[in-house]
Amino acid sequence: MFDFKLPDLGEGVHEGQIVHVLVKEGDALAEYQPMLEIETDKAAVEIPSPKAGTVAKIHVQAGQTVKVGHVLITIDDSAVGVGPPPKAAVQPAAAPTAAPARPAATVLTSSAVAPPPVRAAAPPVPPSAPPAKDGPVPAAPAVRKLARERGVDISAVPGSGPGGRILREDVERFSAGEQVARTATAGPVLPPAGGELPDFSQYGPVRREPVPQIRKTIARQMTRAWLNVPRVTHGDVADVTDLERNRQNFNAALEPGQAKLTITAIVTKAVAVALRDFPVLNCSFDAATEEVVYKDYVHLGIAVDTPRGLVVPVLRDADKKSLPQIAADLHAIAEKARTVKFEIADLRGATFSITNVGALGGKFFTPMVNFPEVGILGLGRAKLEPAVYEGHVVPRMMLPLALSFDHRVVDGAVAARFVSAVIRSLENPLRLISLA
């Protein structure tokens, strides 16, 4: 059997489109008989068969785009005694010492190697590890120079050019990505464990389901946060009795079409403003360089529970927006997240996150810092509780707050002050208004 692969059809041509398949499976094939017509961006060309034999399998169809190296047609050349012998079979008479036929790579890959044993769990490979390479790195001198200038190890750069050649853009992308990676993912990133689970079926019937991409992403992200962030949670309670009254009144007087003011929107505003005074909660920690990356913008990640799982879209420049604007934006992004209309870009770039489980109940919990952010504020359910107010025990509307923070950069005292600042805003609606 001979697999005919799309050859390199011309300078700079990496792919082509099948225009016609000129043979059928089972057809007898003469050497140099036209088999396919392929159009590249340079030319439409007819491909003649390199072998005599029969068409064993056609792997492509008209209209399909194929890349160089793609198997197009398998030719059964076993029954054919005439025509040029296969390349590797002939030793030139004049040169008995001649080496096996080129290309060497064919010889090596065709040597009998047993397929690797199937393993239940692949050995852990850090996702950011470059593919193992040996031998010269395929890159032009100008590209190597660029890599040197950027301080990039060229052997670590994945090449996107023909035959894995490393292009200028690859180096640029890599060097940009490396900077992000250095700040974003410094520290251990282990894949979720999973190789050593017991056989549960010995205890009763089980069923395995592959998890969707979103769950994989959540798992990876949570593992990364858990492993990298020495987290502490600071808890407090805000008296939002007056705020709630005002909020209800405000919503009652809304024009139709205006977004309702929610507790989340108000807390978002309060947090955004407080972050301006606490830049250390609006930063990232670069463990590799031992630097703090302060961000001159406030983009808040808002955790949204969707039917598919947790999604954290980003509300940009929250500190510069009015309260009604924030309410409207929150409504829009939550809707987008639930209807899966968001793009990856909508989920990137947050500087601090807010998660509100209050609608579902719960008082105090330990939110997970959304690494590489350093802080997240969790809201429990606001409810009427007996509180001591002006010397009397009275029912007050109390909102539990839980701030988780990365203790590498944020100390407990700073966290407590930050939460106090947020509470001051919530307990003092006039202060909130003055912030808008």
Instruction: Give bridge partners of residue 17 from the DSSP assignment.
Output: 39, 65
Rounded to whole angstroms, the Cα distance separating 224 from 229 reads: 8
Kindly tell me which of 30 and 227 has the beta carbon lying closer to another protein.
30
10 Å Cβ neighbour count for 257?
6
Kindly tell me which of 112 and 206 has the beta carbon lying closer to another protein.
112
Binding-site ranges for another protein (CB under 8 A)? 4-13, 32, 42-50, 84-85, 87, 90-92, 94-95, 97-102, 104, 107-108, 134-136
Contacts of 89 (CB under 8 A, 6+ apart): none
> Do 308 and 214 touch, CB atoms closer than 8 A?
yes
Closest contact distance (angstroms) between CB of 70 and another protein is 12
Kindly tell me which of 77 and 329 has the beta carbon lying closer to another protein.
77
Rounded to whole angstroms, the Cα distance separating 30 from 50 reads: 9
Which one of the listed residues 59, 70, 331, 407 is annotated catalytic? 407
Token pair belonging to 88: 């590797």
Kindly tell me which of 70 and 331 has the beta carbon lying closer to another protein.
70
Q: What is the DSSP string of 152-184?
A: --GGGSPP-SGGGPBPHHHHHHHHHHHHHHHHH
331 is catalytic: no
Rounded to whole angstroms, the Cα distance separating 199 from 165 reads: 45
Token pair belonging to 196: 């050593």
Kindly tell me which of 6 and 272 has the beta carbon lying closer to another protein.
6
Kindly tell me which of 47 and 337 has the beta carbon lying closer to another protein.
47
What does the CA dihedral 105, 106, 112, 116 come to, rounded to 10 degrees? 60
Phi, psi (deg, nearest 5) at residue 186: -55, 145
HSE, CB side, 13 Å, CA atoms: give it for residue 183. Answer: 16
Closest contact distance (angstroms) between CB of 130 and another protein is 18
Token pair belonging to 188: 């251990």
Kindly tell me which of 107 and 190 has the beta carbon lying closer to another protein.
107
Closest contact distance (angstroms) between CB of 320 and another protein is 54
Of 12, 3, 6, 10, which is closest to residue 36 (Cα–Cα)?
6
Q: Is 40 exposed, middle or buried (0-12, 13-18, 19+ CB in 10 A)?
A: middle
Closest contact distance (angstroms) between CB of 108 and another protein is 7
Closest contact distance (angstroms) between CB of 104 and another protein is 5
Three-class DSSP category at 43 = coil
Closest contact distance (angstroms) between CB of 290 and another protein is 36
Closest contact distance (angstroms) between CB of 79 and another protein is 20
Contacts of 353 (CB under 8 A, 6+ apart): 300, 301, 302, 303, 312, 367, 370, 373, 375, 376, 377
Which residues are tagged catalytic? Answer: 407
